[in-house]
Amino acid sequence: MYTSSSQSPGRRRPGKRLAALLLTVATVAAACGGSGDDASEATTDDSSAPAASDDIGEDTPDATTGEEPAESDGDKTDVTMWSRVPDLDIQIEDFEAANPVIDIDWQNVGHGGDQYTQLRTAIQAGVVPDVAHIEYQELPAFVAEGALVDVTAYGASELADTYAPGLWANVSGANGEVYGYPWDGGPMGMLYREDIFTEFGIEVPTTWDEFAQAAVDLREQTTDVFLTNATPADAGWWTAMLWQAGARPFQIDGTTVTVDLDDEPAVRVADYWGGLIADGVVSADPDFTPEWNEGFNSGKYATWIAPAWAPSFLQGIAEDTDGLWRVAPIPQWNEGDAVSSNWGGSTLAVIEGTDTPDEAARVAQWFTSEPESTQLFATEQLLFPSTNALLNSEEYTGTEVPFYGGQKVAEIFAEASANVDTEFQFPPFNATWYQFWTDAVGPRIESGDLAPALTETEERVIEFAEQQGFTIGQ
């Protein structure tokens, strides 16, 4: 490279230089069309529970089942399943023992955005996995793209009482369609440091008013600890906050979308957290960063308003605080209420284009509801259960966790699970609204003036929805 550069004083051959330039420019353009690997992870992977950290060997998604369906091995049917849940072999073995006619081909094609990009590519190419692991908030997008099979034809409608109502609402369409089998959930609760609460005489708050007062009281006594760390820029956390307050940002009716991001509950939530941040009584460090991890480990944050997958996650990042944490229900907007919302969790969905929808549905149903394997998912892979059977099982909820001072952690989250508001809807362009929200709120966090970000996001979302061909409802 350098020989040519040092020898040819350029100006004699503009033609060749032009060609070389065009070539480099072409590289720029082509590069833009390509790789999104490291990018999408950070943006859409906010709900990637503790399980996400274990990445099992990246199998290449050749997904050949689309071309060569079924009956390859005598009477056996192959079902390809994409999932990032680690150690899936345990349950696959059990499944195949119980269902000798089906062979499961498990592929881990990465998590979050990576997998969705791959899935969309596979759908374009017409070689799809039969079953794929999709988060609740992404389901409506895949439904709108026509990528998912309505599994009511395979007996799914009878499962309404099998799964937690909050999760079931998220997989159900307006006219009783069912697009996925709830695999795990993330009902919201509150993790708190009992030792810090005791030291500063803070009562466990049951309402948001009490919580705000506690934040002020704590701050008056110490400058080392914040009652909590608010993360409005994390759209997953923020959605859970809106959801719990009763906000209804999106109503979907066929191809009509009603967008109301700055309704009363949403503005209330924005003003509440913005006010606490502006008063300096809660911190606002971005979450899932080394600094944030350290905040928990060093005792900078006294609570975490967090979902059911958080307790095991916290154990991994805050080892020094072993035994000091406790769990309580999420504070309420109205005294005496018990409303929760959901952050994270995922489904198994049957992908349109599969040649074996019947078997695929059977696999998805078994993995998400069969008693023994779901029990294993809860204890081995640490998925927070989606089935009522497990959520009501004393054997499961009665487990005492030493990190939480021997408290029965699952019991509290199981209760939260039953209290998840079932009216909340995700839009068919959820990743986009999440991104618009983060863009809008990011620069406003320091000042605490969050409500205008709601309005700004609403404008961008409406513009996007119109571009996508949706009718905007009033």
Partner 1 sequence: MTTVISAPRERTRTTSLRSRVRRALAPYIFVGPFLVAFALFMVLPLISAFNNSFYADRLVGGRVFVGFDNYRRAFDDSLFWQSAWRVIRFGVVQVIVMLTLSTMFAIGINRMTSWVRHVYRLGIFLPFAIPSVVAALMWGYLYSKNIGPIPDLADAIGTPAVELLSPSWILFSIGNIVTWSFVGYNMIIIYAALQTIPPSLYEAAELDGATKFQQTRTITLPLLRPALLLTTVFSIIGTLQLFAEPETLRRLAPQSINSSFTPNLYALNIAFVSNDLSYAAAVSFIIGFIAFVLSYAFMFVSTKRNT
Q: Any idea what DSSP says for residue 285?
A: P
Q: Closest separation between CB of residue 203 and partner 1, Å? A: 29
Q: Closest separation between CB of residue 98 and partner 1, Å? A: 38
Q: Answer yes or no whether residue 352 interacts with partner 1 by CB under 8 A.
A: no
Q: Answer yes or no whether residue 10 interacts with partner 1 by CB under 8 A.
A: yes
Q: Answer yes or no whether residue 459 interacts with partner 1 by CB under 8 A.
A: no
Stretch that binds partner 1, among 138-146, 167-175, 204-212, 377-385 (CB under 8 A): 138-146
Interface residue with partner 1, options 19, 39, 98, 101 (CB under 8 A): 39
> Which positions from 142 through 201 interact with partner 1, judged by CB under 8 A?
144-145
Nearer to partner 1, 26 or 101 (CB): 26
Nearer to partner 1, 292 or 413 (CB): 292
Nearer to partner 1, 58 or 161 (CB): 58
Joined together, the tokens standing for residue 409 give 């952690």
Measured distance CA(407)–CA(327) in Å, rounded: 8
Helix (H, G, I), strand (E, B) or coil at 329: strand
Q: Closest separation between CB of residue 39 and partner 1, Å? A: 5
Q: Closest separation between CB of residue 121 and partner 1, Å? A: 10
Nearer to partner 1, 3 or 198 (CB): 3
Sign of the CA dihedral with 53 first, then 56, 61, and 67 last: negative
Phi, psi values for residue 45, rounded to 5°: -105, 25
Helix (H) or strand (E) holding 217: helix 208-221
Number of neighbouring beta carbons within 10 Å of residue 77:
23
Contact code string over 230-269 relative to partner 1, x by CB under 8 A: ---x---------------------x--------------
Measured distance CA(29)–CA(35) in Å, rounded: 12
Residue type, 293: N
**Residues paired with 131 in a beta bridge:** 81, 350
Q: Answer yes or no whether residue 18 interacts with partner 1 by CB under 8 A.
A: yes
**Residues paired with 77 in a beta bridge:** 102
Q: Answer yes or no whether residue 445 interacts with partner 1 by CB under 8 A.
A: yes
Q: What share of the chain is helix, strand, coil (3-state, %, to 5)?
A: 50, 15, 35
Q: Closest separation between CB of residue 315 and partner 1, Å? A: 20
Stretch that binds partner 1, among 102-110, 357-365, 399-407, 443-451 (CB under 8 A): 443-451
Q: Answer yes or no whether residue 442 interacts with partner 1 by CB under 8 A.
A: yes
Q: Closest separation between CB of residue 294 and partner 1, Å? A: 5
Q: Closest separation between CB of residue 91 and partner 1, Å? A: 30
Q: Which of 364, 336, 340 is nearest to 350 (CA)?
A: 364
* 256-259 and 102-107 strand pairing: unpaired
Q: Closest separation between CB of residue 16 and partner 1, Å? A: 12
Residue type, 455: T
Q: Answer yes or no whether residue 5 interacts with partner 1 by CB under 8 A.
A: yes
Radius of gyration of the chain (CA): 24
Residue type, 383: L
Measured distance CA(111)–CA(107) in Å, rounded: 11
Q: Answer yes or no whether residue 446 interacts with partner 1 by CB under 8 A.
A: yes
Nearer to partner 1, 251 or 432 (CB): 432
Measured distance CA(71)–CA(58) in Å, rounded: 26
Residues 325/194, Cβ–Cβ less than 8 Å: yes
Nearer to partner 1, 31 or 97 (CB): 31
Residue type, 30: A
Measured distance CA(341)–CA(226) in Å, rounded: 24
Q: Any idea what DSSP says for residue 172?
A: B
Q: Closest separation between CB of residue 114 and partner 1, Å? A: 9
Measured between alpha carbons, how far is residue 118 from residues 145, 178, 246, 435 in Å? 15, 23, 34, 20
Size of the site for partner 1 (CB under 8 A): 66
Q: Answer yes or no whether residue 141 interacts with partner 1 by CB under 8 A.
A: yes
Q: Closest separation between CB of residue 372 and partner 1, Å? A: 38
**Residue that is written with structure tokens 């809860």 in the block:** 378
Q: Closest separation between CB of residue 293 and partner 1, Å? A: 9
In b/e form, how buried is each residue of 37-51, taking b as 16+ CB within 10 angstroms? eeebbeebbbbbbbb
Q: Closest separation between CB of residue 328 and partner 1, Å? A: 27
Interface residue with partner 1, options 16, 27, 89, 406 (CB under 8 A): 27
Q: Answer yes or no whether residue 1 interacts with partner 1 by CB under 8 A.
A: yes
> Which positions from 99 through 118 interact with partner 1, judged by CB under 8 A?
113, 117
Q: Interface residues with partner 1 (CB under 8 A)?
A: 1-3, 5-11, 17-18, 21-22, 24-34, 36, 38-40, 42-44, 113, 117, 120, 141, 144-145, 233, 255, 285-286, 288-291, 294-295, 300, 428-429, 431-432, 435, 438-439, 441-443, 445-446, 464, 467-470
